[in-house]
């Protein structure tokens, strides 16, 4: 994948424009369901991976933690996640404890948790739910595990019963894994059809397959992370014929960004969604309402919404 070309200034917003833009839509800001904060030594390893790509994925917001939090607020992101994920056994429970503490100290951040197919996973997922986790992260590509693993069957059931959403990197972009693509996670949904699944990256590059899953299961959502940006469209373009389906599924498309690990300004994700030309009602739902509902904000979007500036 080549570095992105310069963004067309006609379509672009700047980062500084975003708070006023969100207010112009009648919303106090944005809710971003796909943001990464994690323990420092874990984050450094993630950044090391991107650095190993030889400049193809420069990290735009490579700052210390307090600066990254300040930048999010300046962007107008008023609620977000702190997604982390394990790549081996013995990590998940520790990450859950870190995530609970981080959210408790960070205004606007919801408690996040994760899991891995290992002995004891059902117990620590139950513990995280009881401790207030409002969203989980599953990364089938990095974790290299099969979502159909028998050790996870009770976990998916717990999450389905609790109504807690799971952001799952289950598609094959940017590189495929042994258990990515729609088929493995579709088998999970067949067993747990009430599971609130959020397909990361809109399912790229298998966009159509994951839109089909959303048509089949009413609790399947898709996050916008990196989708429609110039960086992704150059290699994995969204099928033009599927664009009307985005409008039909408007209540289940939700803003995600991958902040801070993105190779372009945050505002380009918003500009890319705006230039789809699906209307302001769709944008209000995607940028704020749907994420607020999934993360169970105490106030409804109608209560929080402000009149346009």
Local confidence pLDDT in tens for the 309 residues of the chain: 444 444 444 467 999 999 999 999 999 999 999 999 999 999 999 999 999 999 999 999 999 999 999 999 999 999 999 999 999 999 999 999 999 999 999 999 999 999 999 999 999 999 999 999 999 999 999 999 999 999 999 999 999 999 999 999 999 999 899 999 999 999 999 999 999 999 999 999 999 999 999 999 999 999 999 999 999 999 999 999 999 999 999 999 999 999 999 999 999 999 999 999 999 999 999 999 999 999 984 333 333 333 333
Half-sphere exposure of residue 227, counting CA atoms within 13 Å on the CB side? 28
Confidence (pLDDT) at 71: 98
Q: How many CB atoms lie within 10 A of CB 239?
A: 11
- Which secondary structure element, helix H or strand E, spans residue 257, and what is its range? none
**Residue 183, φ and ψ in degrees, nearest 5:** -60, -50
Confidence (pLDDT) at 202: 98
Confidence (pLDDT) at 182: 98
- Domain residues of the chain, as ranges? 15-295
Confidence (pLDDT) at 2: 45
Task: Classify 290 as helix, strand or coil.
Answer: helix
Q: How many CB atoms lie within 10 A of CB 300?
A: 11
Rounded to whole angstroms, the Cα distance separating 267 from 212 reads 29
- Which secondary structure element, helix H or strand E, spans residue 138, and what is its range? strand 135-139
Nearest alpha carbon to residue 150 among 191, 196, 113: 191
Per residue in 56-72, is it b (16+ CB within 10 Å) or e — as a string?
ebeebbeeeeeebbebb
Which pTM does this prediction carry? 0.92
Which CATH number is 15-295 given?
A: 3.20.20.140
């Amino acid at each position: 994948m080549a570095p992105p070309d310069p963004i067309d200034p006609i379509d672009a917003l700047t980062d500084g424009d975003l708070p006023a833009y969100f207010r112009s839509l009648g919303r106090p800001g944005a809710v971003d369901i796909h943001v990464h904060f994690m323990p420092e030594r874990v984050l450094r390893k993630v950044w090391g991976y991107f650095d190993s790509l030889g400049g193809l994925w420069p990290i735009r917001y490579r700052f210390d933690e307090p600066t990254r939090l300040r930048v999010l607020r300046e962007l107008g992101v008023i609620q977000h996640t702190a997604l982390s994920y394990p790549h081996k056994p013995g990590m998940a429970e520790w990450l859950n404890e870190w995530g609970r503490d981080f959210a408790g100290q960070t205004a606007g951040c919801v408690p996040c948790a994760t899991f891995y197919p290992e002995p004891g996973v059902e117990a620590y997922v139950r513990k995280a739910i009881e401790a207030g986790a409002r969203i989980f992260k599953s990364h089938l590509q990095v974790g290299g595990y099969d979502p159909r693993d028998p050790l996870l069957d009770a976990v998916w059931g717990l999450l389905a019963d609790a109504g807690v959403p799971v952001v799952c990197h289950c598609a094959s972009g940017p590189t495929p894994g042994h258990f990515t693509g729609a088929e493995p996670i579709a088998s999970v949904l067949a067993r747990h059809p009430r599971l609130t699944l959020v397909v990361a990256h809109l399912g790229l590059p298998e966009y159509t397959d994951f839109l089909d899953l959303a048509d089949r299961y009413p609790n399947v959502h898709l996050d916008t992370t990196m989708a429609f940006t110039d960086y992704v469209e150059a290699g994995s373009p969204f099928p033009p014929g599927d664009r009307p389906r985005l409008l039909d599924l408007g209540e289940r498309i939700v803003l995600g960004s991958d902040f801070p690990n993105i190779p372009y300004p945050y505002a380009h994700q918003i500009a890319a969604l705006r230039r789809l030309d699906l209307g302001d009602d769709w944008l209000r739902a995607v940028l704020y309402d749907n994420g607020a509902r999934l993360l169970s904000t105490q106030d409804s979007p109608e209560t929080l919404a402000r009149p346009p500036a």
